[in-house]
Amino acid sequence: MILIYTSKNIKHKAERVIQEHGTNDVYEICDNLNITILKSNLGSIKGFLQYYKKQHHYLIQVNQKCQKFTKIIIAHELGHYFLHKNLNTFTMENCSLVLGEKLEYQANIFATELLLPDHALTHEKSNLQNWSLNQIASIFQLPLFVVEHKVKNLNLLSPEKHLTENKLTALNS
């Protein structure tokens, strides 16, 4: 059975994971779940979640070339673990490109909600008005797309600030 997750469902799932584990640290969560993290050369693949049925053991492989994004890759793979672990995603992606993209999008939303929970931003709400999205990403040590998603969904910046950020992003592209 395939569950249909909304962004709100995924957010609640990430919040429950944080509450159950007492942290949003991906390494601690993997340790608690006995999920091994391995870094190796995966070519163009950033990472993947693997299940060894005989040992009933999960493994997250992370591309060693993506050192800067290791935390977000692990959080993304934890998204697959918590949202899709009962699905054979390789088979599904071969059958439907759209479904594969949907699963990846859901894992990205989970990673965003796990690494940057609402309370982390709302706690800094007064400071956010003075910071650019790049500064916020730097402060939280997260990729820009994670911060952009959260700030947009929480409406933490004024519309003028969003316009200014979008213009700066377009100019720098």
Residues with a catalytic annotation lie at 77
Neighbouring CB atoms inside 10 A of 131's CB total: 17
Helix (H) or strand (E) holding 119: helix 118-122
**Which DSSP letter does residue 1 get?**
-
DSSP for 7-65, written as a single string:
HHHHHHHHHHHHHHHT---HHHHHHHHT-EEEEE--TT--EEEEEETTTTEEEEEEEGG
